[in-house]
Amino acid sequence: MTTHGEAVGPSAQSAVPAVESKKDQVSPVRADLSDGTRSGPARPANKENGITPVAPPPAVGRIVAALNRLHTALGTVSYPLVLPSAEEARRVGSALLAQLDDYLLPRLARLDAPLLVVVGGSTGAGKSTLVNSLIQEPVTTAGVLRPTTRSPVLVAHPENLGWFEQPHLLPGLIRTVKTSDDPNSLQVIGARGIGPGLALLDAPDVDSVVDHNRKLAAQLLAAADLWLFVTTAARYADAVPWELLKTARLRGTVIALVLDRVPLDAAAEISAHLGEMLTEHDLGAAPLFVLPETELDSRGMLPAPVIQPMQQWFARLSADPAARDAVARQTLDGALAALVPVVNGLAEAAEDQTRAAQALDERAAAAYRAAKQTVREGLQDGRLLRGEVLARWQEFVGTGEFLRTLESRVGALRDRFVAAVTGRPEPSRKLQTALESQLVTLLRGVATDAAEQAYTSWQQHPAGEPLLLPELKSASATLPEKTDRMVRDWQKWVLDLVRREAGDKRSVARGAAYAVNGAGLAVMIAVFTSTAFIPTGLEVAVGAGTTVAAQKVLEAVFGDQAIRTLATRARTELVARFDELLDAEAARYTERTAAVRLDAEPGTLLRRAAAEVESARKDIALTGSGS
């Protein structure tokens, strides 16, 4: 039967897992954490903070550089889209960044630094009482009310205070020497009740109802060289602590356990059951201290016979630099080895983001491709020759008489046309306005339809709906103004084109500006048909013959090939301007996924960084095996 306060499992001498410690006799080096690429001679090997510096392996510079590249990659990759993998990826990515800053990089910078023992456990497990009893000083206050919100407390031998007072480990926590209610501070206390080379950190409850306390507890545990997990006879089977124990095991963290407040008559049964659970979770080799249910002494501490076995265990660890080095190396190596599968999981989540962003972009692009196709069809099927445009065109050219004399009097028609456009500015203005209105109406209509289609398609995607804004359901508020300006600019471009091409045509030049304007309007009418005035049944029916008339007039003025070329160029220019406006409308959607597209092949970036860390880890061979 286990006696109270006795370590169950490995003896106190063998509590630390058997790990071959590296004793390479090389000149000391210190990693430069500014960029992770330099290492060089350190200060002489004299005592610093009570610890004689031990030279890290020469490969430390490479692994620090690899970790810094991984740090950069983790900070670059984001998970903004709402996907099943995103929330967990954000949490894990943030935790990995914290572990790099809080533990991995600082520990690699000084492998000989004092060992940090984080005391963690469930609410009311007696962590603070245990720390005070081990130190034999009231260094940390046990919480009377739950949840207790206060800063974590770190206790170190006075010789080691200099290391922990500086922000080496856990640089995000503000150091203080007084008790504080600020959860972002770390109270650092010196006490001779703990031997040199060790520090105890009393962490918040791992199952606290206060979210910040839970997160801080997890952060502190990830920075531990050794995790002293405290539970009770009533709470040892709770799910939350076992999840954290599993995480610590996967990270390779060295673990010791304390089973507190065990009734005398149930000690054997509870110890045996807990031992079975530890074995089931691959933690059977972890030291286990069983503390009986007992009265505290007048100072609020555990009686000496109960706490003495643990005090002796820590005293032996303090007195054995090789054992401390083995603990630090095993935990460090385990944490480094655990990075690869975790980072690969983040790479998968990042690729989920990329695939989702591409799918959303394609849905928006499809809607606006359809809009562009509708524009092209509208410029080809004669629909724009109906209504107001047709009426104003007939008014402009005097359709009735124009058609009656079409076949026999082309030359006279040409003269009449020139006379008409030089002497009838008002009808030309009305026609230009009608053309402008028809084009504006076409673009606004297709843009509105495209916005609605894109909106609906995003609603049907799990990552799309959270990105939608009400204004995306319709065309942009600035589209009417942009469309008006675009059509006017295009009309001006057509007139400039006609002016350049007709510079040597005396019949047009004779009419000066009005003649150019009239010819330009006829070119714009030509754009509204697919065949550049080659008459078809549809065009004749739609335009009541006016397209044929216009073709003959323009051929007489410019020549057959010239009018075809002008119409084609004008149509190409108009389509390009339409496309530009529709691309700007589509960008309102693709801008919503831009954060994902900023990451160039994020999965590849993360996997490459993790592979570099793993390769460097094997080179440094912290546990002597290199694997």
The residue ranking higher by pLDDT, 249 or 27, is: 249
Task: Identify the pLDDT of residue 107.
Answer: 93
Q: Which residues contact 147 (CB under 8 A, 6 or more apart)?
A: 123, 205, 208, 209, 210, 213
Q: Which of 101-115, 256-270, 392-406, 595-609 has the lowest mean pLDDT?
A: 392-406
The residue ranking higher by pLDDT, 496 or 550, is: 496
H and E: helices and strands count for the chain: 22, 11
Q: Report pTM.
A: 0.72
What gap in Å lies between CA 477 and CA 486, rounded to an integer? Answer: 15
Q: Which residues contact 489 (CB under 8 A, 6 or more apart)?
A: 577
Does residue 409 register a pLDDT over 60?
no
DSSP letter at 55 equals P
Degrees (nearest 5) of the Cα angle 501, 503, 507? 105
Task: Identify the pLDDT of residue 413.
Answer: 47
Residue with tokens 């199952």: 207
User: What is the phi/psi pair of residue 232, to 5°?
Assistant: -125, 165
Q: CA torsion sign, 435 to 370 to 447 to 483?
A: negative
Q: Which of 189, 195, 190, 187 shows the shortest CA–CA distance to 170?
A: 187
Does residue 553 register a pLDDT over 70?
no
Q: Per-residue pLDDT averaged across 66-76, rounded?
A: 95
Longest dimension (CA), the chain: 127
pLDDT band at 225 (very low <50, low <70, confident <90, very high): very high
Q: Which of 174-183, 353-362, 380-389 has the lowest mean pLDDT?
A: 380-389
Task: Identify the pLDDT of residue 597.
Answer: 72
What gap in Å lies between CA 227 and CA 206, rounded to an integer? Answer: 13
Q: What are 334's two structure tokens?
A: 């385990």
Q: What are 99's two structure tokens?
A: 């572990």
- DSSP H or E stretch at residue 258: strand 254-262
What gap in Å lies between CA 418 and CA 427, rounded to an integer? Answer: 14
DSSP letter at 142 equals P
pLDDT band at 415 (very low <50, low <70, confident <90, very high): low
DSSP letter at 2 equals P
Does a cis peptide bond (omega within 30 degrees of 0) precede residue 147? yes
Q: What are 490's two structure tokens?
A: 């295009």
Q: Which of 125, 264, 133 shows the shortest CA–CA distance to 194?
A: 133
Q: Per-residue pLDDT averaged across 192-221, rounded?
A: 90
What gap in Å lies between CA 520 and CA 567, rounded to an integer? Answer: 10
Give the pairing type, strands 185-190 and 153-156.
parallel
What gap in Å lies between CA 65 and CA 37, rounded to an integer? Answer: 5
The residue ranking higher by pLDDT, 388 or 219, is: 219
Residue with tokens 């008006």: 484
pLDDT band at 581 (very low <50, low <70, confident <90, very high): very high
Q: What is the 3-state secondary structure (H, E, C) of 554-607?
A: HHHHHCHHHHHHHHHHHHHHHHHHHHHHHHHHHHHHHHHHHHHHCCCCHHHHHH
pLDDT band at 320 (very low <50, low <70, confident <90, very high): very high
CB 379 within 8 A of CB 575: yes
Q: Per-residue pLDDT averaged across 61-87, rounded?
A: 94
Give the pairing type, strands 115-121 and 153-156.
unpaired
Does residue 349 register a pLDDT over 50?
yes
Does residue 397 register a pLDDT over 80?
no
Does residue 380 register a pLDDT over 90?
no
Q: Per-residue pLDDT averaged across 224-229, rounded?
A: 95
User: Exposure of 303 by Cβ count < 10 A (0-12 exposed, 13-18 middle, 19+ buried)?
Assistant: middle
Does residue 579 register a pLDDT over 80?
yes
Q: How many CB atoms lie within 10 A of CB 272?
A: 12
Does residue 543 register a pLDDT over 90?
no
Residue 292 bridge partners (DSSP): 262
Task: Identify the pLDDT of residue 530.
Answer: 52
Q: Which of 224-233, 412-421, 598-607 has the lowest mean pLDDT?
A: 412-421
What gap in Å lies between CA 169 and CA 49, rounded to an integer? Answer: 15
Q: Per-residue pLDDT averaged across 8-12, rounded?
A: 35
DSSP-based three-state secondary structure for 327 = helix
Instruction: Note the Cα 238 to chain centre separation in Å.
Output: 33
What gap in Å lies between CA 427 and CA 438, rounded to an integer? Answer: 16
Does residue 226 register a pLDDT over 90?
yes
Task: Identify the pLDDT of residue 143.
Answer: 54
Q: Per-residue pLDDT averaged across 191-211, rounded?
A: 91
- DSSP H or E stretch at residue 153: strand 153-156
Q: What are 262's two structure tokens?
A: 């065990």
CB 81 within 8 A of CB 353: yes
CB 260 within 8 A of CB 289: no
DSSP string, 413-432: HHHHHHHHHHH-HHHHHHHH
Percent of the chain with pLDDT over 90: 50
pLDDT band at 392 (very low <50, low <70, confident <90, very high): confident
Residue 174 bridge partners (DSSP): 185
Q: Per-residue pLDDT averaged across 500-510, rounded?
A: 55
Task: Identify the pLDDT of residue 25.
Answer: 24
What gap in Å lies between CA 124 and CA 294, rounded to an integer? Answer: 15
Residue with tokens 């974590």: 152
Q: How many CB atoms lie within 10 A of CB 536?
A: 13
Q: Per-residue pLDDT averaged across 543-556, rounded?
A: 53
Task: Identify the pLDDT of residue 250.
Answer: 84
The residue ranking higher by pLDDT, 50 or 348, is: 348
What gap in Å lies between CA 8 and CA 187, rounded to an integer? Answer: 32
DSSP string, 166-216: TTSSSTTSEEESS--S-TTEEEEEE-TTS-TTEEEEEPPPTT-SSHHHHHH
CB 14 within 8 A of CB 287: no
- DSSP H or E stretch at residue 274: helix 267-280
* Amino acid letter for position 101: D
Q: Which of 97, 154, 104, 103 shows the shortest CA–CA distance to 128?
A: 154
Q: Which of 487, 599, 527 shows the shortest CA–CA distance to 382?
A: 527
Does residue 390 register a pLDDT over 50?
yes
Residue 256 bridge partners (DSSP): 228
- Dihedral of the CA atoms 494, 497, 498, 499 (nearest 10)? 120
Q: What are 175's two structure tokens?
A: 């150091």
Q: Which of 267, 278, 264 shows the shortest CA–CA distance to 9?
A: 278
